[in-house]
Amino acid sequence: MSTTSSAPGVETHIHRDDEGSRLGMWLFLFTELLLFGGMFLVYAVYKFTHAEEFHLAAKELNTLFGALNTIILLTSSLTMVLAIVAIKRGQKYLSLFFQLMTLAMALGFLVNKYFEWMAKISHGIYPGSEQLLEKSNGEILFFGLYYVMTGLHGLHIVIGMAVIAYMTWFTWKDKINQDQYVRLESAGLYWHLVDIIWIFLFPLFYLIS
Amino acid sequence: MSSSTNDVNVSYLDYKGKHSGLLGWILSVDHKRIGILYLISMMVFFTVGVTFGFLMRLELIAPGRTIVDPQTYNSFFTLHGIIMIFLFIIPGLPAVFGNFFLPIMIGAADVAFPRLNLLSWWLFIIGGLLAIISVFLPGGAPDTGWTFYIPYSVRTTTNVIPALIAAFILGFSSILTGLNFVVTVHRLRAPGMTFFKMPLFIWSLYSTAWIQVLATPIIGITLLLVVAERTLSVGIFDPALGGDPVLFQHLFWIYSHPAVYIMILPAMGVVSEIIPVFSQRTIFGYKFIAFSSLAIAFLGSLVWAHHMFTAGMSGVAMIVFSVLTFLVSIPSAIKVFNWVSTLYKGSILTDPPLLFALGFIFLFSIGGFTGLIQGALSVNLHIHDTSFIVAHFHYVMFGGTGFGIFAAMHYWWPKMFGRMYNKVVAKTGFWVLFVGFNLLYFPMFVMGWLGMPRRYYDYLPEFQIYHMLSTVGSWILITGLLIMFINLFNALKNGKKVTEENIWNGETLEWSTPTPPFLFNFKEAPTVESGPYEYKRNEVSETEVKEEKV
């Protein structure tokens, strides 16, 4: 599509509007919050009805793993911000470096998560397992929610990585540059959302023991 | 692609872009072409939905087995519901006429995110096809009803998962459309087009878009949780593992009740457009209609539990939800009164669009009042899960939104395609449809009141007379639909050519574009100075008349 205006004052279909793009991204983040909001609601209900058993089940989770992942994710948010600041100043390679750092930490988070899940599964704690079904209803619900919520969050990490990788490619090709960086900003917003959801997941699953 | 000044000043129908033929349509980012894509796909799904409805009614013409076995009948009403709700009524007005006319009516060249717009159509098609495919996969067509109530939706062996994923994808498509519209309204209004100079159809689309953005994610996660429940048995909704099925109902209706306002609000917007044009008067109470759209969107989000009065809730909660349900009828009534007041002393032209709009007001009022009856706690316990509910729902959704869609078709068809349909046939179609509609659904009120449960395959002989009337009504209704659609589609080929810009003497911006609109809608970017329904000519002539008398 050509971006030159074709008739006086009439824009072509695709036009540049950074303010509009930001507004759209914020609305999208809102829908993501509501998506997780539905799950937090379910969590709240069952935490209320099965408080004791949730407490008991949370002891099975490894707080060290969780804390480590929290630190990794928070730091990756920082590098994301730095990547945006760098591109605003026209420092392309610095921005690329920080974007790759962000990607590396996201990968680190997933690796960590993988070992954590595998440890649980090898102990026979996963949805529908015999060992889990022997436990009380509250514990079954806790682990059901644990796998679904951290799983969905993990999926968001993967999507976030794909988006950031795409942005890195754009930065490399100079499609994202000092004048046009709204896409990188939007990707950053998405990454912060993934981060903030984890900040709520961490205490709800690891710290209530 | 080169774009000189010349080759964009052609009708969007004739424009030759990068792709030609079919690809020029299914890869187009032009909001008008996407609107037409939605129109075609929606009509296909509507035909399928009507067929299921027709077969269901045919089965019910006599007690016992008539044409199909009970399991097939269960699939019929499930698919009828899923298709009609997710593939016809929800996208009907926003995605078809919203896409086509929202940018034009605010004086823009396109929506804010044209590529996202095309993506949402593709998601719509993928979701729709998945829903259809779920019928034919081994395992059998889904039989849960469109509500996917737990625990049956976890226990049944039919293809529930494809249907759930289809609904999830369709929800995503709906969110993207809503998001696009909110940003478009905020960012792309023409110079001078303040919020209070926006046409009321835009106000209703704007309110709808907010519900789409805010409510749909909840159903998304709920459906995903049911998928997780079926595949992994995580226990969140399964009572055997400590889960709570009533929680599913809450989450389901937190979306699905606001969703009925996604369905009805744009139709109200269409009626608000048509009434002033065909009575050639300024709309009565513009701001009240605009704000009542927002009020419906807001209050409508707080009434979901009135679907669950028999599911087990505290008495206080039931009273609160009942009161809120009554409250939501106030903004709806404000609209009806304003429309009727606009008609009063207007110079009314009974063209087909107005007939359908009046049909809307009449049928929607019946649907609305019976909604109040159901909102009352004591009565609700009596008529819960009877065909009274089915009748109410169809009066609001088909008599309301359905007729709204038909009104929009007759109103904007000449603008969209540059062809005029046969008005006499259109009016005939309306009356056949109107008679068939009432014969089909009114007996359901009566038998529901007498205790006929909904979704039942078999019934007691005393209900047969009502079922018989209803089934005959369905035949008349389908005849009406055929007359209407054949007339409209025939017009595309053989209808009289329309080239004048403003055939109905409307004052909104779409009537100042060429017919059919150019690729970027306007010849010159418009500037707005007056409100959307200011019929100055009439006022002038009235003063002239007075002067003559003096």
How close is the nearest chain A Cα to the Cα of B319, in Å?
22
Residues in chain A with CB shorter than 8 Å from the CB of B181 are none
Q: What is the pLDDT of residues B314-335, one digit of tens each?
A: 999 999 999 999 999 999 999 9
This prediction has a pTM of 0.92
In this predicted structure, the answer to whether residue A4 has a pLDDT above a threshold of 50 is no
Structure confidence at residue A3 as a pLDDT band (50, 70, 90): very low
A37:B218 CB<8 A:
yes
Walking along chain B (550 residues) 10 residues at a time, the average pLDDT comes out as 54 81 89 95 95 96 94 94 94 94 94 95 96 90 92 91 95 96 95 94 95 93 94 89 92 92 94 95 92 92 92 91 94 95 92 97 96 93 94 96 97 95 97 98 97 94 96 97 97 93 92 90 85 66 50
Whether residues B3 and A6 touch (CB distance < 8 A) is answered with yes
Taking the C-alpha atoms of residue B446 and residue B497, their distance in angstroms, rounded to an integer, is: 47
Nearest by CB to A141, from B116, B218, B235: name it. B235
Closest-CA distance of chain B to residue A2, Å: 6
How many Å separate Cα B366 from the centre of its chain?
Answer: 18
Prediction ipTM score: 0.90
Contacts of A129 in chain B (CB under 8 A): none
CATH for B26-544 is 1.20.210.10
CB contacts, 8 Å: A54 with chain B: none
Q: Which residues of A touch B220 (CB under 8 A)?
A: 35, 38
Chain A contact probe: residue of B4, B10, B236, B522 with most A CBs at under 10 A: B236
Using CB atoms, which residue from B220, B247, B525 is nearest to A42?
B247
Question: CA nearest B214 in A: which residue?
Answer: A31
Nearest to B115 among A14, A23, A145 (CB): A14
Q: Closest to B112 (Cβ–Cβ): which among A7, A24, A147?
A: A24
10 Å CB burial of residue B310 (0-12, 13-18, 19+) is exposed
Closest residue to A1, CB basis, from B1, B213, B242: B1
d(CA B411, CA B428): 16
A9 closest CB neighbour out of B30, B217, B524: B524
Question: DSSP string covering B94-118, please?
Answer: IIIIIHHHHHHHTT-SS-S-HHHHH
- Residue spans of the domains in chain B: they are 26-544
Per-residue pLDDT band at A6 (split at 50, 70, 90): very low
Q: CA-CA distance, B506 to B414, in Å (whole number)?
A: 13
Which chain B positions have a beta carbon within 8 Å of A127's beta carbon?
228, 232-235
**Helix (H), strand (E), coil (C) string for B336-349:** HHHHHHHHCCCCCC
Supply the pLDDT for residue B36: 96
CA distance to partner chain A, nearest, from residue B113 (Å): 7
- The C-alpha angle with vertex B237 and arms to B70 and B452, in degrees rounded to 5, equals 35
- Separation in Å, CA A134 to CA A114, A126, A139, B232, B261: 25, 12, 10, 16, 45
For residues B386-400, one letter each, b for 16 or more C-beta atoms within 10 angstroms of the residue's C-beta and e for the rest, the string is bbbbbbbbbbbbbbb
Phi/psi for B10 (5° steps) reads -125, 160
∠ CA B390-B339-B85 to the nearest 5 degrees?
A: 30
Strand, coil or helix: what is A59? Answer: coil
Exposed / middle / buried, residue B326 (Cβ in 10 Å: 0-12, 13-18, 19+) = middle
How deeply is A182 buried, as exposed, middle or buried, from its count of CB atoms within 10 A (0-12, 13-18, 19+)?
A: middle
Contacts of B115 in chain A (CB under 8 A): 14
* CB–CB contact A148 B234 (8 Å): yes
Q: Cβ of B214 and A19 within 8 Å?
A: no
Please indicate if any CB of chain B lies within 8 Å of the CB of A37: yes
Instruction: Give the per-residue pLDDT at B530.
Output: 82
Q: Which residue is closest to A34 within chain B, CA to CA?
A: B217
Q: What percent of chain A has pLDDT over 90?
A: 82
**A147: distance to nearest CA of chain B, Å?**
8
Instruction: Kindly determine whether residue A141 and residue B241, on different chains, have CB atoms separated by under 8 Å.
Output: yes
What residues of A are in contact with residue B523 (Cβ under 8 Å)? 7
Q: How confident is the model at residue A166 (pLDDT cuts 50, 70, 90)?
A: very high
Total beta-carbon pairs less than 8 A apart between chain A and chain B: 147
Q: DSSP string spanning A118-183?
A: HHHHHTT-STT-HHHHHS-HHHHHHHHHHHHHHHHHHHHHHHHHHHHHHHHHHHHTTSS-SS--HH
Chain A nearest-CA residue for B233: A128
Interface of A with B in 151-180 (CB under 8 A): 152
**Can you give the pLDDT at residue B50?**
97
Contacts of residue A137 in chain B, CB cutoff 8 Å? Answer: 235, 241-242
pLDDT computed for residue B13 by the predictor? 87
**Radius of gyration, CA atoms only, chain A:** 21
Q: What is the pLDDT of residue B524?
A: 82
* For B213, nearest residue in chain A (alpha carbons): A31
Q: Which DSSP state fits B312?
A: -
Q: How far is A86 from chain B (nearest CA, A)?
A: 27
Domains of chain A: residue spans and CATH: 41-206 (1.20.120.80)
User: What average pLDDT does the structure give for chain B?
Assistant: 91
> What pLDDT shows up at residue A9?
36
Per-residue pLDDT at A131 exceeds 90: no
In chain A, whose CA is at the least distance from the CA of B7? A6
A80 neighbors A98 (Cβ within 8 angstroms): yes
